[in-house]
Structure 1
Amino acid sequence: MSDSSADSTSRPVVYAVVASTFFVGFGGGVVFPILPNLGEVLGISAFMVGVILSANRWTRLVANGPAGALVDRIGTRKPFVAGLAIEGAATAGYVVAITSAVPEFWFVLARVCWGVGSALVFATAYTITADVSDAGSRGESMGIVRAGITFGFPAGMVLGGLVSEVYGNVAAFVLAAGFAGLASIIAFFIVPETHVDSPDQSIKPWDLETTLPALTVGLVNFGLYFAYFGVLFSTLVLYLDAESTVLTLEVAGMGLEYGEQGTSGLLMAVSALSGALFTILGGKISDAVGARVPVLLVFLVTSCLGFAVLTVAPSLSVVVVACALVGAGQGGVGGPLTALLADLTPEDRMGRAMGTNNVFGDVGGAVGPLLSLPFAEAIGFDVLYALSATIPLLAGAILVVGIYSYTGSLSPTVEESIV
């Protein structure tokens, strides 16, 4: 796509993707404060809760490759709409699960289906954005779309935590399913086709992008997802319970106290909202300075500081600051990181490159709950969060080494990075 064409079509298409991904993100956010607490609610073991939380990501390990190849073969619109519809159906499965005599089975099945749907959504959303954006606006456009995918999370997590506290978990799951279903309806009517068809290309789970840029960006994504979703989001509700930390809101002169689910939902919302805001800012800054790496390093350090603050948090207000810092770091990396991958990848391989990046992120997000939940029980949250603070620093080192090896520069300009 030419620069002039990209300039004229980028914003409407980007906003169309944002509109549809927002609502599925909202539906996903509603359920997140509840799932880590299934051990308390249904008597499910900590290990099984970890399996449920990570099942969607393990599924995407298999689904991301075919999703990326499918995009490069048939285009973006049909996989995007189908993925959103599958996520809506999966969310409805939570209602079945929580009322079932075998909730573990239904929760895992629902999370597996969510994994298939989200693999299609993630591969298509970023590929659409890469298709319609030029180098000068790609960071901001990627940031806006990533914010759209995650921006529904804050409102959803607040509402999910509060609705589950006041009306029960079933009501929260029904609400989530409704919003996720709405997302697919919006996408059907407003999201256009943008990608070039290549009908001769194969679709295999192992058909991934194995270039040095894709592997470097993927490893950074692995670390971020491990620390953010795999550790912070998976353990926050249990951390609040262990620390006896809940939130009291003053409304019309009356103190309203919420339990650990409601409080964790609000804290996750603070983190996700911070991330959504900074993912746009990070991408815009990387466009303005004409380089991605320095911006990425600043936000990786920000994420590290957030986990460091969490290890010494003496009060709820400090926990809020820590969650906001971790979210800002995670979000600020998102726009420039996906833009960097798009800069270094040929257009006809973008679907595969995004699929590969998602594989790495999902490995991190899947391994995280399996390790962090039992580890927190055995060793403690302070040690867990202290170790998590080192992960963004390691990711930064990998980024610098990988990009230098490929480009010969510690901080290549956007023009030098374009393939």
Structure 2
Amino acid sequence: MSSTESGSRPVVYAVVASTFFVGFGGGVVFPILPNLGEVLGISAFLVGVILSANRWTRLVANAPAGVLVDRIGTRKPFVAGLAIEGAATAGYVVAITSSVPELWFIVARIMWGVGSALVFATAYTITADVSEAGTRGTSMGIVRAGITFGFPAGMVLGGIVSEAYSNVTAFVLAAAFAALASVIAYFIVPETHVDTPDSSVKPWDVETTLPALTVGLVNFGLYFAYIGVLFSTLVLYLDVEAVTLTVSVAGHELDYGAQGTSGLLMAISTLSGAVFTIFGGKISDAVGARMPVLVAFLMTSCAGFVVLTLAPSFHAVVLACALIGAGQGGVGGPLTALLADLTPEDRMGRAMGTNNVFGDVGGGVGPLVSLPFVEIVGFDAMYALSAIVPLLAGVVLVAGIYTYTGSLSPTVEESIV
């Protein structure tokens, strides 16, 4: 291990810890809000708007966040973004006790979008700054895993704690962990990106190179199918198919409803993704090429949706969620590493911001389309169509990288800009 790599580890681990704890607020609403919609009198479409509001906000905020990072550095936007996400999570508590919950939920999700735009742009840029080419896939995978692990922890918290105690308790706990994330970042994460801050920020100064657009389109497809379709409809699917979990503890049968079961299944999916995020990045470093790993995991995601379409049983749904999560996660580390390989260092913030724009369009369109669409065509047809999305993403990826590099599978050394 080089001294540079050794010195970067505490920074990477601090980023992982911060994004993990703040991620609770991102996942806590998914097992709660779809069912809560009927109780609060919120329509399916408006629930979709609330779930996707953070992504539509990031659609506007991602590019300026990336430019800001390249102009003033990573530390201040990172800490500020975590603090804003913490305040947004606290807003869920206000929403659920308000006479106009839909308004407060939307405000909280918009705040979350602003904060997460800053966090995502900075987290990956910090990692790219402190990692070397030969270990970049592993480092990106570790950071993405930290972000990803926080999401299922929030879903478990939202599903189980809300059923065992109350929805308010789940939201309060998530807000407390988000506050801890800001403290960790403030005291540990240094500036890594610029020596002389430049306050002139141009929101239109984004990355429009072929690698950025190619990686962004792949990100769009993955988030559309994963967050936009699977996570937004799973609790409803389990309810319709009567697929729930019963656990025997000390001779007593514990029955989890659709809400609690969906939280556990989404956690399994995201934990699978987090594990394979690390492995995917590490494998791409070991073989010295990103493309074979990316294509393999895109096919894994496709297989997961096929399983979900064909076999509506609890064990089949567990397998499907694990496969879809593995595919999503396995792509994550190598994909961001590939973008870093093909992007000049001084434009890394812009590139990450552009990539996040595409992902958030996919995640934002997904709930708006999937929730009304499933009422018309049913779950089987919707999940079957979703299986095609990773295949199309693979075609776009291969075509874009071949056009830019002249190789179907460029090595890491050939990709370094």
Amino acid of the structure 1 residue aligned with 2:23: G
| Counterpart Cα distance in 1 of 2:96 and 2:198 | 44
| Counterpart Cα distance in 2 of 1:317 and 1:260 | 15
| Counterpart Cα distance in 2 of 1:380 and 1:313 | 14
Instruction: Give per-residue Cα distances to partners, 1:149-198, cap 9 Å, x unaligned.
Output: 11122222112201111212111111111111111111111111111145
Amino acid of the structure 2 residue aligned with 1:188: Y
What CA RMSD, in Å, does the superposition of the two structures yield over aligned residues? 1.3
Checking the alignment, whether the CA contact within 8 Å between 1:140 and 1:280 is kept in structure 2 is yes
Match of 1:7 in 2: 5
Equivalent of 1:159 in 149, 157, 160: 157
Instruction: Give per-residue Cα distances to partners, 1:281-340, cap 9 Å, x unaligned.
Output: 000000000000110000000000000100012310110000000000000000000000
Q: Which runs of no fewer than 5 residues in structure 1 stay unpaired?
A: none
- Asked if 1:27 is matched to 2:25, the reply is yes
Shift, 1:32, TM fit: 2.3
Amino acid of the structure 1 residue aligned with 2:290: R
- Asked if 1:18 is matched to 2:16, the reply is yes
Q: Secondary structure at the match of 1:377?
A: helix
Shift, 1:212, TM fit: 0.2
Equivalent of 1:89 in 79, 83, 87: 87
Shift, 1:70, TM fit: 0.8
Q: Secondary structure at the match of 2:248?
A: strand
Amino acid of the structure 2 residue aligned with 1:345: T
Amino acid of the structure 2 residue aligned with 1:138: R
| Counterpart Cα distance in 2 of 1:128 and 1:206 | 22
Amino acid of the structure 1 residue aligned with 2:416: I
TM-score norm. by structure 1 comes to 0.97
Q: Which runs of no fewer than 5 residues in structure 2 stay unpaired?
A: none
Match of 2:201 in 1: 203
Please give the residue correspondences for 1:66-77 in structure 2 after superposition, counting only pairs within 5 Å.
66-77=64-75
Match of 2:50 in 1: 52
Amino acid of the structure 2 residue aligned with 1:240: L
Shift, 1:28, TM fit: 2.5
Shift, 1:34, TM fit: 1.0
Shift, 1:20, TM fit: 0.9
Instruction: Give per-residue Cα distances to partners, 1:187-220, cap 9 Å, x unaligned.
Output: 1111111111454474233221000000000000
| Counterpart Cα distance in 2 of 1:313 and 1:404 | 37
Amino acid of the structure 2 residue aligned with 1:396: G
| Counterpart Cα distance in 2 of 1:304 and 1:338 | 20
Match of 1:184 in 2: 182
Match of 1:339 in 2: 337
Q: How many residues align?
A: 417
Checking the alignment, whether the CA contact within 8 Å between 1:282 and 1:336 is kept in structure 2 is yes
| Counterpart Cα distance in 2 of 1:229 and 1:342 | 24
Shift, 1:250, TM fit: 1.2
Identity %: 84
- Asked if 1:408 is matched to 2:370, the reply is no
| Counterpart Cα distance in 2 of 1:321 and 1:4 | 40
Equivalent of 1:169 in 167, 170, 178: 167
Match of 2:322 in 1: 324
Amino acid of the structure 2 residue aligned with 1:59: T
Instruction: Give per-residue Cα distances to partners, 1:74-128, cap 9 Å, x unaligned.
Output: 1111100100000000001111111111111111000000000000000000000
TM-score norm. by structure 2 comes to 0.98
| Counterpart Cα distance in 2 of 1:331 and 1:13 | 22
| Counterpart Cα distance in 2 of 1:286 and 1:8 | 20
Please give the residue correspondences for 1:15-414 in structure 2 after superposition, counting only pairs within 5 Å.
15-197=13-195, 199-200=197-198, 202-414=200-412
Checking the alignment, whether the CA contact within 8 Å between 2:268 and 2:318 is kept in structure 1 is yes
Checking the alignment, whether the CA contact within 8 Å between 1:83 and 1:118 is kept in structure 2 is yes
Checking the alignment, whether the CA contact within 8 Å between 1:72 and 1:197 is kept in structure 2 is no
Q: Secondary structure at the match of 2:31?
A: coil
Checking the alignment, whether the CA contact within 8 Å between 2:25 and 2:85 is kept in structure 1 is no
Q: Secondary structure at the match of 1:409?
A: coil
| Counterpart Cα distance in 2 of 1:42 and 1:248 | 28
Deviates more, 1:83-92 or 1:190-199: 190-199
Checking the alignment, whether the CA contact within 8 Å between 1:39 and 1:45 is kept in structure 2 is yes
| Counterpart Cα distance in 2 of 1:141 and 1:14 | 7
Instruction: Give per-residue Cα distances to partners, 1:364-412, cap 9 Å, x unaligned.
Output: 0000000000001111011000000000000000000000000000000
Shift, 1:61, TM fit: 0.9
Shift, 1:40, TM fit: 2.5
| Counterpart Cα distance in 1 of 2:333 and 2:150 | 17
Amino acid of the structure 2 residue aligned with 1:330: Q
Amino acid of the structure 2 residue aligned with 1:242: V
| Counterpart Cα distance in 2 of 1:16 and 1:200 | 26
Deviates more, 1:248-257 or 1:359-368: 248-257
Q: Secondary structure at the match of 2:34?
A: helix
Checking the alignment, whether the CA contact within 8 Å between 1:65 and 1:204 is kept in structure 2 is no
Match of 2:416 in 1: 418
Checking the alignment, whether the CA contact within 8 Å between 1:56 and 1:116 is kept in structure 2 is yes
